[in-house]
Structure 1
């Protein structure tokens, strides 16, 4: 599979990268594998690698939502007398006996026997229900959706929205851009959420049954309330012989062509944990409110940084680049796609204007930062609900494909892709400066949340690419530019080798090679830094060149969708890597210049100036990235996207709130899923957590149950080691990526092409596309060291991919 740079493309749990660790449902904490016995004589010593041993003993892949549905959906024994039960043809790949050994072998999780909030449970007995129950519930859901629309229309009528240029406006309009298609689809999702709540009340479903088994109540496929136009459309017949990936991710799985496609729901690694079992935000174990996400941020997450011992700032940038390729959660929007205000005085004084998708973050009056500005409310709207035509808990919508397929460069629709292409010689659109430098196309949309008049007046615009977040921070914009240049470089070389190829062939072949290079660099240079070499070896994630070497076979039964927990929580570990200062290094004089990160958010204009891109890349490759953990730069804990404002947003608070919004399960559930014993009190965590972090946690949480961990680790010499609860969704994602993506190289490409792809490196891509740099570390994600020297770009020690392997015709 991907070991031959082939089956790379999918992310099962998949993604955020750019930046952090404040785990979305409660907190991020610095995890340690053990505290030495002499530091605490009451704690028995444990092996330093105990968590690794435990994880490696678990069966992979782990059971998930799709496993549960597949086990019981076809079962003849679950509800044998249910007249409403769907009928299926016999399928040997989906055994009908849910109690067969293929389903019941122990997965080594540690859920107690009386704990049924996990996928190993048996479905609950459904109470009797009638067609009237279904139709009345759907009617109620439709009424609630219309009421929401009325609020949106009234807000639009009064011109109430987020203040243009404000931090929240930049976050929602520019960074978390929501496609109009997603907003339309969310109407059905919202309606079905309320219909499920009504059905739960009508037939007295328990919270657990509503979460797990309400999906089997009723058949709504023919209901007028189920608007098929609001569902993700199925593609036409898939061409099994196609040489190239679809741009929207469809037909990656020929049996289930929409799996992993853009505009499909995230999947669940663990069952969702909503307050009412359907859609309300997660509550504390005793049913009360969880502590303010901002209070958790200021109490648990410190505003100081500890540098990684091995990795550069480029690690953070590459992580964000990968994340944006595989996840983009849609946000709830108002009329005409307007942002929804939740904290303005007019909204707070008139409850009738309060949008039901508001979930603002309450700021304590004595907040150490915001109190000076009299701020007690931080804007936050819920993620848009994914559409469905069945009862069940709320799910969220991923606007990206679930595959590592370069959608960050090419977009996720044929229309978007067409707008990015030059339609000549296989090239992407670009703008060329007077001195011949190739930049991304200009975004001339005045409402893109980035362009400002004092720059557009001089014909300097923000940029456009396959992903709307391209301008979020300048280092990310640089990476977009580098890979757009790389595509054009590949297309021109292929044209020289194959002058008879037309524009379409040149474009698609260049795109295929570029996707393979991104995948190879990710698994060869980035992933080892995340999960460590031991786990890489155990899961066989390292790229392999020879066809006879062991690899993961494609498995059409594994759902490629990104796990909700990975996107909403685990992959946000990179946020703790954000540097408060961005460094630029002038190559010739080695002059170093620093600027606050805030000055480069939605401010990419300096890329128009000669030499700045090279200076930024040099600056990324020189300093160490902050170590992953529970410590964050003040630039992201109150000043994010502030621009000219005196204050901005708190990214840590927002990530905690997002996890609650998505119903990401609590810390104890992840311990049990990972094979660890459940903790009954905070003292049980002394072996697993940094003492300072644990002490802070006890100050804001009443008990251990509601608190969600996920956070990283204690950095160790060779890599960035993570806690067990982070590794689980991350490793599952990375493994799933290998097992679910049909990439054409494996079956259609000659071995010499595969061998050339395996010469790809980030160092060579940067050298070829930012030649002003002159030199670079052999492995740019790692700090300069004896084994990682800085080499001239002309060095033969930085191999080049020979595209001669793609030449056709007589030699």
Structure 2
């Protein structure tokens, strides 16, 4: 009963109810095979009880609870379009005040700031005095318009003692990790958490190494805060200007990202790791660099502990929020297909990959094992397990009270200040999901012949991704291994997470090789490197065009796209809006909260279709997670893609299927992880500010109480939020953002739209190699660009999955009168002609 929310029974709701019952019956069938008779009876009773409670609830209407004060549909867009774009961020604040900081001649340990509030605009065009139209109160000093605090005087001893303390803490952590390894205390192989951390959320050894310096500086800053008696705000926003660590032995160059060599300003091709895209700031957007902050971090202690409630107490358990607010009652999108969710995940994996904390040897860290919980000396400081309430509506039946959660790895830094997290991917939409984000990774994927990527070819001639033959990769299984059926490898380690995603990886690897072959036919004199780089360059352009032409408009709406000038050009028209002063670096809050909205689009049952008008088959999502082996079977990829383009995505709201809110990476047990809880906890781990502060950031009136949110949020979701959170200022950004009504003609609510729009604006205007640029030598010719403007996801799928046969013109959208299914041979799905690349003077 606790899992059900009241709603009005309509045809749509009836379909959702049937889907829910099918999921429950699917589990019941599994129980018939594996469980004693008495457990089967219990499961049957639970299923029937859920059905009854849903039917009872259907007669109620939540509008009786909260007045439906709904503003005009486009009012939120009016507010958003009145803002200054791009939005101000951490880099804006740092740049502003670093230019005005002076050292007093008589005391090198005391900094002061220019007292003139009207700092002159800098020569690079930053206009400090222009208002950004955020709605933070004038006395709110936790925003970028603040003036840095006058810090108390510090001494060299303050700095050295703080750094020594941090070093000792890092050494203690290493000793603990060695002790855990000796005791063989790690995550249980095959468990949901093991699959999550080894098969999906992989961390590069370089990130683990770099995290040592980040962890040292976390504790050094905490010590400095205590020694100088700094406020939480000063420790978080001002301590970065205390001292200079760059010349100390603690600022170990071996624990930092290597700086790129001299940048080649005349190079035609982008680097693999994102370096030198910006010639003035060569590491902006590069892999293995910290995320950017859109708002100041909100850590409990101002440095690195998890965010606290507004009263200074702990926030409600992330699992409690998940179970009470994010219920298992799915509503389908009226306009968009499951492919929208999959494409969003593919894009996300191209631009974000947060490193997780690992032991020094790369082992996973156990946080919920009996041994660790019984002996505090074995409890790792990077643990932040999620408490599961005793009365939990799902996990209580399995006697689960603790969910594994390891904190994200701290990014290295050579200054005091709050913890930042590390992005292992490049920020740019540059195909790193296909090619990798380091030269070493890319080399492992290339054949170095004719510009081709490695692949394996089946007996019937189908091209698949190269095999990952590592038996301990968290994906391969003994049974499949014995049949020489392996998991796959690609540019991103999450390639095997779910088979719909693996299919897109395969499609784009095929697309690269198809382009390389065609380019060789046109230019037989080109060598391997030229063929590879040109094919990669075209692939990246096609990904960028599809994302901005078909995907981003679905999120924020075409009106907002047009206002921000994000829509692609047409017929070969080029752009000249590259801004070398705009950082494309991914915002921490975008990666940890806003762009995770797509998890709400996941359906619990995945549809496969044998062919037009043929058999339709449903399978539970957890059965295709880390189970890519069905792609070895002929026709499976086409069946999955037909399903993806035929099945509606779930609506973007607070509802989630138990396939992700209780059975994520489920093994032999009947339970797994809860993705919603992990998302909420991840936001707190990263110090992501509460929802109400994002309202102010995006120009909306801050809510002084829960009732103030009635006009912006779903009524049922708001009622649940009120029951869980003590104060309106406590609401987690992920939860609050999903509860909002969507912007006009968009999928997400206004605060998510605000942050998503700002990030995609930066990815376009902050990319020197953007596919529409007119700047030479990286620009395509106008004839080449005119061809690239024809590309669509429909043509990419048709060309690389011949068995597909037909597809709707715009596959991210559902069938409609204006979006019919067409044969792949139709001229209404334009083809890209590579003739303009013939004899191209490279």
What TM-score do you get using the length of structure 1 for normalisation? Answer: 0.92
Deviations for 1:5-64, whole angstroms, at most 9, x for unmatched residues?
Answer: xxxxxxxxxxxxxxxxxxxxxxxxxxxxxxx9x989978663221111100111111111
Contact 2:810 2:819 in 1 (8 A): yes
Counterpart CA distance in 2 for 1:418 and 1:284 is: 47
Q: 456, 459, 467: which one pairs with 2:484?
A: 459
Unaligned 5+ residue runs, structure 1? 1-35, 89-93
Give the distance between the partners of 2:520 and 2:68, measured in 1 at CA. Answer: 66
Task: Look up the match of 1:732.
Answer: 758
Q: Give the C-alpha shift of residue 421 in structure 1.
A: 0.4
My pick for the range that moved more, 777-786 or 44-53, is: 44-53
**What's the counterpart of residue 282 of structure 2?**
257
Structure 1 residue 711 displacement after superposition:
2.0
Which residue of 1 is the match for residue 805 of structure 2? 774
Count of residues in Structure 1 that have an aligned counterpart in Structure 2: 768
Cα distance change, pair 44–294 in 1 and its aligned pair in 2 (3 A): closer
718, 726, 740: which one aligns with 1:702: 726
Gap runs ≥5 in structure 2: 1-60, 114-118
- Contact 2:434/2:509 (8 A) holds in 1: yes
- What is the CA-CA distance between 1:105 and the residue it aligns to? 2.1
CA displacement 1:500-520 (0-9 Å, x = unmatched): 000000000000000000000
Superposition map of 1:432-511 within 5 A: 432-511=457-536
| Distance in structure 1 (CA, Å) of the matches to 2:66 and 2:727 | 25
- 1:302-341 alignment, distance < 5 Å: 302-341=327-366
1:78, CA displacement in angstroms?
A: 9.4
- Residue in structure 2 matching 1:241, options 256, 261, 266: 266
Sort the Cα spacing of 1:270 and 1:588 in 2 relative to 1 into closer, same or farther, 3 A. Answer: closer
- 1:803 is the counterpart of 2:827: no
Q: 2:677 aligns with which of 606, 631, 653?
A: 653
Q: Which of 569, 576, 596 is 2:600 aligned to?
A: 576
- Structure 1 residue 749: deviation in Å? 2.0
Q: Is the 8 A contact 1:701 1:707 kept in 2?
A: yes
Show the counterpart of 2:550: 525
What SS is found at the alignment partner of 1:104? Answer: coil
Mapped to 2, the partners of 1:782 and 1:428 lie a distance apart of: 31
Q: CA deviation at 1:440?
A: 0.3
Write the distance in 1 (CA, Å) between the matches of 2:795 and 2:388: 47
Q: How does 1:528-543 map to 2 (within 5 A)?
A: 528-543=553-568
Aligned residue for 1:164, secondary structure, equals: coil
Partner of 1:31: none
Preserved CA contact (<8 Å) 1:75 1:97: no
- Residue among 677, 681, 688 paired with 2:705: 681
Q: Name the residue aligned to 1:197.
A: 222
Per the alignment, residue 768 of structure 2 pairs with: 742
Alignment of 1:36-185 (within 5 A): 46-76=71-101, 83-84=108-109, 102-185=127-210
The alpha-carbon deviation at position 676 of structure 1 amounts to 1.4
Q: Does 1:758 align with 2:758?
A: no
Equivalent residues of 2:101, 2:111 under 8 A apart: no
Give distance in 2, aligned partners of 1:272 and 1:175: 27
- Does structure 2 retain, via aligned residues, the 8 Å contact 1:309–1:717? no
Aligned to 2:386: 361
Q: Deviations over 1:270-304 (max 9, x none)?
A: 00000000000000111101000000001111101
1:607-646 mapped onto 2 (5 Å cutoff): 607-646=631-670
**Residues 576-626 of structure 1: per-residue CA shift (max 9 Å, x gap):** 111101111011661111110110000011110111111110011101111
Q: Secondary structure at the match of 2:662?
A: strand
The 3 A distance-change label for structure 1 pair 78 and 608 is same
How far off its partner does 1:712 sit? Answer: 3.9
- State the alpha-carbon separation in 2 of the partners of residues 102 and 727 from structure 1: 25
Quick one: structure 1 residues 716 and 744, their matched pair in 2 at CA, closer, same or farther if it must change by over 3 Å?
closer
Q: Distance in 1 between matches of 2:831 and 2:105?
A: 62
Kindly indicate whether structure 1 or structure 2 has the higher relative contact order, using CA contacts under 8 Å at least 6 residues apart: 1
Root-mean-square deviation over aligned CA pairs:
2.2
The Cα of 1:81 is off from its aligned counterpart by 7.2
For the pair 1:662 / 2:693, whether they are aligned, the reply is: no
Contact kept, 8 Å, 2:80 with 2:698, in 1: the verdict is yes
Cα separation, 2, equivalents of 1:62 and 1:207? 25
Give the C-alpha shift of residue 713 in structure 1.
6.5
Q: 1:43 to 1:442 in 2, by over 3 A?
A: closer
1:484-525 deviations in Å (ceiling 9; x for gaps): 000000000000000000000000000000000000000001
Q: Which moved more, 1:688-697 or 1:450-459?
A: 688-697
Asked whether the 8 Å contact 2:572–2:786 carries over to 1, the reply is: no
Contact 1:152–1:334 (CA<8 Å) still a contact in 2?
A: yes
Counterpart secondary structure, 2:730: coil
- Asked if the contact 1:188–1:226 (Cα under 8 Å) also holds between the matched residues in 2, the reply is yes
Q: From 254, 276, 279, give the equivalent of 2:304.
A: 279
Q: CA deviation at 1:452?
A: 0.2
CA deviations 1:325-365 (Å, max 9, x no partner) are 00000000013100000000011111100000000000001
**Cα distance per residue 1:531-573 (max 9 Å; x no partner):** 0011011111110136767x56111111211000000000000
**Whole-Å separation in 1 of the counterparts to 2:348 and 2:107:** 44
